[in-house]
Structure 1
Amino acid sequence: MPVYTVHAPSPHGTDLRAAEKFAFVRDGFHFWAMIYGPIWLLWHRLWLALIGWVIFFAALQAGLSSLGVGPTSIFFVDIILALLMGLEAASLRRWTLSRGKWRQLDVVVADDRETAERRFFERWGQKQRGIVNDQWAVDRGGPPPTRNVPGEAFSNPPPLPSGGIIGLFPEPGGSR
């Protein structure tokens, strides 16, 4: 199953209004990044990665040509670079998002992006409700056991044990 990382713009990371801006980045091999590397980088607006790729590719081509490497070897080097681009495309996208002050919110495992979004927002919505609706602070309807309410068995505090000792430790000088 594919793994998706969920990224949010940093100032609006937990805001419901920013939910439409969340980015889901699939981890793994990207076929179209391998076939059309520069176009894939343009499509995803990875400008620094595109500039770096163009400079590296041009320098490598010029270096291999100046060393007298044959066209077959240069072709195999190009194939290896294309495979590397397909393998590292998601990492380049995550790197660009982190440079843009985006933060990673979660990691989701799902079959496709739609399922990943549904799973993330279900889990994220429960966390948001947990922050707003604190169940521990809700009045359960009964008085706490320290109140003295006549007629209720649990309203009086429990009696102190004989000897005044609370806990499992014996009195000093007592029998074991």
Structure 2
Amino acid sequence: MSKMYNVTREVASKSLNISTRTIDRYIKSWKLSYKKIANKVLLAKEEVISLKEEFATLHQELNTEIINQSSTTGTSLANKGDMDTAIDQKIDKFFLIFKEKEKILEEKNKVIFVLQQRVSELENKIQHMIALPDYNKEKQEAIIEKQKLEEKIGQLKGMIKNEKLKNLIFIWLSLVFIIVAGFFILQG
């Protein structure tokens, strides 16, 4: 008989009162089979129901054990052997549940540790960063100062050209004056 895969992870997690992450762990450990259809993970309804019944019996056994411990102080020795095996089975189940919860806690602690590292890295970056308005203000001031310096450089270049032109004119006038004076001296 083929299994009907028609229960999503979310529906299964709600019916079992566990997280989807725990459902993923059950899938990974082959406690639940699945089919992936159109990027959706679907679980077998029968397996989800049997897992739900198993959880219910675990909780029921825990409640009956607590009640039985308080009411049966004079049990016979014949029942003691059965009780020992039942207790061993329950201890094994609780040990498995404990291990699973321990793994979940370890994974969550790892995630918390990674997130704390990331937060501290981001805090360090923020401390060493310049605030954006300050950066924009400094950048604007630098651009204005650069423009002023370029204007001064342009003015100085213009003044140098004017001075060169004046010097050239004076040199030409001096040469013309010397030539005219030399001409008058030679004639006179």
Indicate the structure with greater helix content: 2
TM-score (norm: length of structure 2):
0.28
TM-score norm. by structure 1 comes to 0.29
- Max radius of gyration: which structure? 2
